[in-house]
Structure 1
Amino acid sequence: MVDIAHRAAINPASAKDATPALVPLTAIEPGQWRSLAQRAIEPNGYYLPAWELAVSATARGRTGASALSVCGGSSTRLIGLMPAVSLWQAWKIPLPALVSAHPYGTLCSPLIDRDAPVEAASRLLQQARRAGAHALILRDVALDGAAMVSLKEALANDRLKPRVLGSYIRASLDATQDSDRLLHEALGAKKLKELRRQRHRLEEHGAISFDVARKPDEIRPALETFLQLEASGWKGERGTALIQDAGDAAFVRRAVPALAETAQCDIITLRAGTTAVAAGIVLRHQDRAFFFKLGIDERFSKYSPGVQLTLDLTRHLCADPAIASADSTASADHPMINPVWRGRFAIGDVLIPLRRHDPIVELIHAALIARGLARETARRAVHLLRK
């Protein structure tokens, strides 16, 4: 049963059409992919080819993604792309559905051509049907983002509606504002004074500098500094630092320099003298930045190095005319970023039915609800045990 359902959700071609409905990510022509990314109606740095191909090749638990890809009309121009895995591959649920491939960063909005958004969205849905899927599950999409708006319109044409499985509010930055005014409004005079005091104390260990590595020859050593910092903290203690898994380390060492070739990734580092006390990875796509990860030297934790780095990043992004906004890609109520970046938008998981009045869609929905309840029960049990 499991194998049959798994094959049904990733059927490469229908009996009537030999053209594959799903193709390997590596089969997408890189130039076409990059061109679509430039025209995408909604930026998503985590679905840039250099990033997602590296994730799918080696990253822990995220390998083997395929692609729903569509061209416009009779042309060969790529107008829609959604990296995808089967529901079985994602969550071991033996039902015919496709799930957006998770690109490590918490954003899975598909790439949809802004010049033909509804056509692209409609064709992606058609490709999913041809692949044998009865539903699409989009993980971590901007619920009010332009990609989701296009999908809703395409669904409405088929008299279908998406179903939100769960959502949360995420922090973002309006980088068009004056950074000093923005930080004052977000943190207040008292908190900023305390942070300045901490910065002066940190300066006792050496002159403070904020460095941005962007060129390929600069970014490789900066990445190694970040990896060491991340592994030295609580992520290292939990075994979740990137460098602690060979696949994760290979992915990030491939993706970051590749994005640097097109000026789409920065490594930011805060130093006291020659000592790196905090570092982060920031992706760039169109006019949006994505704050991927942060690592700090815990020996300097009383000086709030992560917050200090974020303040400098805020000033840096607000001063950059190419950047209009930044996505924290952080969890809900994140204790560090939420007080600093006060913009908010809704992120959620969405079930998209592909057929009307389909009992299999109801089974898929029920299975996803049951999975969510089981995870919540397990989370509460772990919390009680820790208490």
Structure 2
Amino acid sequence: MVDLTNPMAMHGGNGPKVHPHAAIASEDKPIQLIDIPLDAWRALEARAVEPNGYYLADWELAVNASVDGLTDASSLTAWANGKLIGLLPVISLRRAHRLPLPVLVNADAYGTLSTPLLDRDDTRAAATALFAQARQQGARALVFHSVSLEGPAMAAMRDVLAQDGISPRIITSHVRASLDATRNAEDVLRDGLGAKKLKELRRQRNRLAEHGEVTFHVARTPDEVAKALDTFLALEAGGWKGKRGTALKQRAGDETFIRHATNALAVRGQCEIVTLNVGDAAVASGVMVRHLDRAYYFKIGVDERFAKYSPGVQLTLDVTRHLCADPAIASADSTAAPGHPMIDPIWRERLAIGDVVLPLYKNDPVASLTYAVLSLRHHAREAAKRMLQQLRKR
């Protein structure tokens, strides 16, 4: 009988070699997120080779403490000379997908990005150590959902695995909208939307102004963010998300998480809430997270009574100008679904995102089985969606 807790069992004791530069993780058992020293986590955030606003400590710990189904996550951590150089929140494949296989999956951080935090000065060593710790815990593979496919973090993980003749296996991939905030905002908007569409949007804005002065506001301080969040939550709950029962305000754990996360991040200058007002009334609002030189457009809510004036688009035009005018921001991730009808035409840069299986051993049957099952599930879901769309058209 194979011992699935022993990383060498299925390979006759011949596991992947440990490379000399590796900073081997200090634990051979799961580490709870809440047990990671906060100062070390935040220091790694500042040194990350690739940003991920959804794995900031203040965000992920708020998710882990409050959101139904997403609490009590563990983590893989990499340390070197007493310094945290790598971090990936994880849960078991059994918990994530009800598959009883020795595989770890990135923990859902209530945001569509799972890129691990890797130290820019020790990126490959950090990746090596995370893999080593996963093996020590008995894992045969890692599964990433919505990971950046072309950034330096994935490049480092590919390189480390390649030394053992291992390649990642992509379950599915897509591109989503992003903003090059180093460009002039008006050039971005003109290139994306074209002169005719911009003229139409100006006309809509002028009509919107007939209901009151149109103004754009950015909440930054904790007090400002708390007040603006109330507005955002009310707008989101009053729209289609409220009708579907998926608005943050409709679930106590979700509301607790977003209140705690935005407050804590605002204290550190890592959260903004943007609002478009008509007179004294808000018609659109959005939450943005900031990490290093990247912003993340988390969610927006709109007053659907003003739908004919495109309030979400109007807000995003102002957000584009706001981010392009900020020298601290080089890019923005829409974190939107591929082909999103609102933001794709405005932000024309693209980020490659995918679901990936990273085998931890060469020719490993558990990794292959995981890939096969998750791929089959993905294709089945996509086929069901297409059938439903066809039925709706009849």
Task: State the TM-score, normalized to the length of structure 1.
Answer: 0.94
Q: CA deviation at 1:378?
A: 3.5
Query: Partners of 2:316 and 2:6 in 1: how far apart?
Result: 46
Q: Secondary structure at the match of 1:126?
A: helix
Alignment partner for residue 122 of structure 2, among 116, 125, 130? 116
Contact 1:93/1:367 (8 A) holds in 2 = no
Partners in 2 of 1:332 and 1:170 — Cα distance? 5
Higher mean C-alpha deviation, range 183-192 or range 275-284 = 183-192
Structure 2: distance between partners of 1:303 and 1:383: 28
Aligned partner of 1:26 among 34, 52, 61: 34
Q: Tell me the equivalent position of 2:353.
A: 347
273, 282, 292: which one pairs with 1:286?
292
Deviations 1:252-308 (A, max 9, x none): 011000000100000000000000000000000000000000000000000000000
Find 2:217's aligned residue among 211, 223, 226: 211
Contact 1:171 1:343 (8 Å CA) reproduced: yes
Q: Is the 8 A contact 1:282 1:292 kept in 2?
A: yes
Aligned partners of 2:70 and 2:119: how far apart in 1?
Answer: 25
The partner residue of 1:168 within 169, 174, 186 is: 174
Residues 175 and 317 of structure 1 are in contact (CA less than 8 Å); yes or no, is this contact kept in structure 2?
yes
The share of aligned pairs that are identical, in percent, is 56
Paired residue for 2:107, among 101, 108, 114?
101
Q: Is 1:235 the counterpart of 2:241 in the alignment?
A: yes
The yes-or-no answer on 1:189 pairing with 2:171 is no
Structure 1 residues 171 and 18: alpha-carbon distance in aligned structure 2, compared to 1, 3 A threshold = closer
Q: How does 1:9-158 map to 2 (within 5 A)?
A: 19-72=27-80, 75-158=81-164
How do 1:293-308 and structure 2 match up within 5 A?
293-308=299-314
Contiguous gaps of at least 5 residues in structure 1 = 10-16
8 Å contact 2:233–2:248 — kept in the other structure? yes
Deviation of the 1:369 alpha carbon:
1.9
The answer to whether the 8 Å contact 2:357/2:367 transfers is no
SS in 2 for 1:102: coil
* Partner-residue secondary structure (3-state), 2:282: strand
Which amino acid counterpart does residue 28 of structure 1 have in structure 2?
A: I
Distance in 1 of aligned mates of 2:60 and 2:184: 33
For residues 247 and 381 of structure 1, do their structure 2 counterparts lie closer, same or farther at Cα, with a shift above 3 Å needed?
farther
Quote the offset at 1:386 in angstroms: 4.0
Q: Which secondary structure state, in structure 1, belongs to the residue aligned with residue 112 of structure 2?
A: coil
Which one-letter code corresponds to 2:147 in the other structure? V
AA partner of residue 176 (structure 1): T
Map of 1:12 onto structure 2: none
Runs of 5+ in structure 2 lacking a partner? Answer: 8-24
Contact preservation (8 Å) 1:8, 1:96: no
Counterpart CA distance in 2 for 1:44 and 1:80 is 13
Shift of 1:153: 0.9
Secondary structure class of the residue paired with 2:199:
helix
Bigger mean CA deviation after superposition, 158-167 or 316-325: 158-167
Give SS of 1:292's match: strand
Partner amino acid for 2:328?
A
Q: 2:329 aligns with which of 304, 323, 336?
A: 323
Shift of 1:8: 8.7
Residue 251 (structure 2) aligned to one of 245, 249, 253: 245
Partners of 2:231 and 2:288 lie apart in 1 by 14
CA shift in 2, pair 1:381/1:62, >3 Å: farther
Cα distance, 1:381 vs. partner? Answer: 4.6
Match of 2:362 among 356, 365, 368: 356
Judged with a 3 Å threshold, the aligned counterparts in structure 2 of structure 1 residues 8 and 201 are, in CA distance, closer, same or farther, namely: farther
Q: C-alpha separation between the residues in 1 aligned to 2:171 and 2:54?
A: 22
Partner amino acid, structure 2, of 1:215: T
